[in-house]
Amino acid sequence: MKRLSQKNLCTSTPQNLRLTKSVKPKARLGSLGRLAAGWMILQTVLLATPVLAQKDQSSLNYGEFLRKLEQGEVSKVELDETNNRAKVTLKQQPEVSKDVLVFENNPGLASKIRESGAEFENKTSIDRSTTASILINLLVIFLLLLGLIMIIRRSANVSGQAFSFGKSRARFQMEAKTGVKFDDVAGIEEAKEELQEVVTFLKEPEKFTAVGAKIPRGMLLIGPPGTGKTLLAKAIAGEAGVPFFSISGSEFVEMFVGVGASRVRDLFRKAKENAPCLIFIDEIDAVGRQRGAGIGGGNDEREQTLNQLLTEMDGFEGNSGVIVIAATNRPDVLDAALLRPGRFDRQVMVDYPDYKGRLGILEVHSRDKKIDSEVSLEAIARRTPGFSGADLANLLNEAAILTARRRKEAVTMSEINDAVDRVVAGMEGTPLIDSKAKRLIAYHEIGHAIVATLTPGHDLVEKVTLIPRGQAKGLTWFTPDEEQGLVARSQILAKITSTLGGRAAEDIIFGDTEVTTGASNDLEKVTSMARQMVTKFGMSDLGLLALESQEQPVFLGNDSMQRSEYSEAIAARIDSQVRTIVLQCYENAKKIIQENRYTIDRITDILVEKETIEGEEFRKLVKKFSASSLKKLAV
């Protein structure tokens, strides 16, 4: 019964809204009527009732006037029966006339004036009260009509909004002038080639139809945030020169069931009227998630919207001439029916750019900035692996901001390096003073750097610094020597060993009683890498087994409990293997620290003094002090 009552409440909501809209105008008219009636009574009282004037030197009340009249002090009286007023001149003040407010229908007043011997004159003025009353009434009627018109117009607007509730909110341009061309998009050449086919088909469809080819009805852009999916859509719109509709997936979904489906129908109806055209749906995962999945079932409004989208893209009627381009960074949550051929025929991967791609992106974003001639974009591209296009644009913008703050005319490598550090690690903090804590942090960072330098297969050291950034009190940067999609077992072990180098340096230099919490984040990374080696990559004595799968979100209808895929005995062996890998790498790190103690001490002194050592300088210092250490041992 409870569920039924909720359903009735939801379905009756529009009726309640209509009742409210129909009752409100009547209530407003009633209040306006009461206001008008009160105003008419008020103005009648004001016009019909004599206003008692305040007593002053130029006026007399009626009693004083009669008394002076009986005493013979009045010399002249001018009576105006229309306004019920009299002008009285006294014998003592012949130059001053005083006003007296007399009563209506007073026939004996004229005889009393004559009997007193005063000069009497009866005047009749124009009665303007009727005209004033008519004008005031007309003003009230005008105000009432004006209020009624405003109420009617507001009600009409509300009704119009109710009728347009299900219309599409897509932004439409006959020829999208986005200001973005394919020349402005770099770093994703493969995606550009596939999307250029769409532009070619829209401009010269006969090239494809001549051989019986059909352009895909839908293209799905998949990639991490910031890699240029929306920028590609803008480039397509700028290049194609055809009608262009753009909308976000969240704009389809509303509170009321059926509104999203109505907007989808209206969008494709307009698109078919302007075919050939493009429709771009950004963040399609907001409306295209799997139906009926997750805890508590699905969402009726979103599922109806998705069903209508599926039908419009490839249903009974078809949608020839309409190309749909969508973007998402969550392809795993999309419904399978949406991804089948005939709807989204192609899935275009827009991934993080490689070295050449980053170089091209930097060249594009540096066009409108003053860059010093000594700045090497190649060095920046080599130092920023894993950066997306948005990250690189933000990097150059931060460098330009730093340049303006330092009052320089052009961006130099100093601003570029500081901007990279800020984007990756956060804002620069206040350097530590020379103390035990600063020396301990220096040994920790040098431990990372020297273990990485002396371990085969590890990335090169880019910089070692004691300047705090974000939550880190010190940082050691590494730059990959080359980019490759596959990682060898030796490289993972080298990363684990160098990550433990800081803790190993604290242990060797200060003793196990003086180790600090500075390696907490390092231990988390080490444990994660070692566990993946055992459970995912098959790089342990347990053999070639994938014991843990990729974790899936709960709302996709997968097993939300993440049940164990192995027995307790295997779990114990996994923990043992992880511990063995970590301890072995830790012993290797301690060995490197012990063998290069002289080198570490000398470089630490330099780091405490300079606070930052660049990678090339660090490698020279390691070579120099290692040679000195060997000479001392030889002697």
Question: What are the catalytic residues?
Answer: 445
Exposed (0-12), middle (13-18) or buried (19+): which is 370, by Cβ within 10 Å? exposed
- 322-328 vs 218-222, strand pairing mode: parallel
How far is it, in rounded angstroms, from Cα 546 to Cα 523? 23
370's CB contacts (< 8 A; 6+ apart) are 403, 409, 410, 411
Contact 113, 77 (CB under 8 A): yes
CA-nearest of 339, 344, 334 to 556 is 334
How far is it, in rounded angstroms, from Cα 34 to Cα 22? 20
Order of all β-strands in the sheet with 277-282: 171-173, 244-248, 277-282, 322-328, 218-222, 346-349
Element (H, E) at 462: strand 460-465
CA-nearest of 386, 416, 376 to 479 is 386
Order of all β-strands in the sheet with 119-123: 59-60, 97-101, 85-90, 74-80, 119-123
CA-nearest of 22, 16, 37 to 151 is 22
Q: Which two tokens stand for residue 96?
A: 């001053």
153's CB contacts (< 8 A; 6+ apart) are none
How far is it, in rounded angstroms, from Cα 531 to Cα 544? 14
